[in-house]
Amino acid sequence: MKALPTWSCRPYIFPDPIKKTYARVIKEEGKTPVKNFLLAKVMKNRKLFHFILRSAYLAQQPMAKGRPLIRHLPSFLEKDHGFRSLPTIAKTPLRDLWQTLSPKLENPSLRIALFAGCAMDFIYPDHGKDLLKLLKKANIQVDFPLNQTCCGLPAMMAAEEKTAKALAVQNIQAFEAEQYDYILTLCASCASHLTHNYEKIFREAKEPAMGLKLFTDKIIDFSSFMDKVYKFPQASQNINKQVTYHAPCHLCRGLHVTDEPRALIQKAGYTYVPSKGEDVCCGFGGSYSVDFPEISSEILKKKLDNVEASGADILVTDCPGCVMQLKGGLDKRQSPVKVFHLVELLAKKE
């Protein structure tokens, strides 16, 4: 495998001052934005939140017409948000498939729990199937605690601190971390939030959370797990495809994971080719791309220009949100470059 340079992402601009200022403005104005009201009412109620996501599958059908991407939005959205295609909600979420996908193993080498995150659970359940394909070969037991819910990052970034705390409590209780060697997530944003912000939430609230440290200590992102724990093997043959990489902000700056994804691309037998600005944001940023589509579209344009200039056949990333943004943008361009989550790329090698 070709030696890789040591990657260093640009300094992380912590969002806390922005969030705190936003919370103060809301408090002083005495008006709760509609988005905040909905976050507080819906996300605390896991069953209601998941019911709405399931219902979205039916609501999208007139636009999706059976395709995995929505390429033409309603006219009132097309002007601002038409810079990318949007993924469809899966007919069956990962949680509903899990019992048949992941039977109990006898004497597993490891026991891990999967923190799916909303996007993997309800939009990209195939990523979960790819994960199981990889881990079953190593006799690793993977459980999916069904009471898990959104990590709470969207609520936290909207300054809905009580909602973010309520979601943290739900997830800590759902996982019973003492049963597992690791709690694995394929979402870089979830991994960073669970690792760093849960402790901060309870520290600021000045109250302890039962099992908090045990839970956060066991969180691990997919690239780190596959490289350091699973020890993904070097491919015996090279694959005649060039792959470039997009570093999710929460992975490279939040978790300081930089070398592992690129090493895994090469171990899988692909030729890694760098592209300009790999560590620059793709413009998704959760609700940022919804609230500021003009800025998001310009950030995405620069990102995709650099990707296409690299000559890569495939663009890989570690975050479902980034997959959503990048795949949607390249589809809108009718670009031949394919976008995969890293788990898809590694599962293809198998």
In this predicted model, what pLDDT tens digit does every residue of 132-168 receive, in sequence order? Answer: 999 998 999 999 999 999 999 999 888 888 999 999 9
DSSP states of 214-253: HHHHTEEEHHHIIIIIS-PPPPSS--S-EEEE---HIIII
Question: What are the structure tokens assigned to 128, written together?
Answer: 């979960």
What band does 227 get if pLDDT is binned at 50, 70 and 90?
Answer: very high
What is the domain partition of the chain in residue ranges? 234-349
Contact between residue 128 and residue 95 where contact means Cβ atoms under 8 Å apart: no
Q: Cα angle at 219 between 193 and 14, to 5 degrees?
A: 25
| Whole-number Cα distances in Å, 73 to 38, 70, 78, 300, 320 | 23, 7, 5, 18, 21
Q: What pLDDT, in 10s, does the model give residues 320-339?
A: 999 999 999 999 999 999 99
> Using CA atoms, how far apart are residues 6 and 19, in angstroms rounded to an integer?
32
Mean pLDDT of 60-71: 78
Separation CA 122–CA 117 (nearest Å): 9
Percentage, residues of the chain above pLDDT 70 = 87
Which CATH code, of 3.10.440.10, 3.30.70.890, 3.20.20.70, 3.40.50.1860, is assigned to 234-349? 3.40.50.1860
* Residue 314 near residue 337, CB atoms below 8 Å: yes
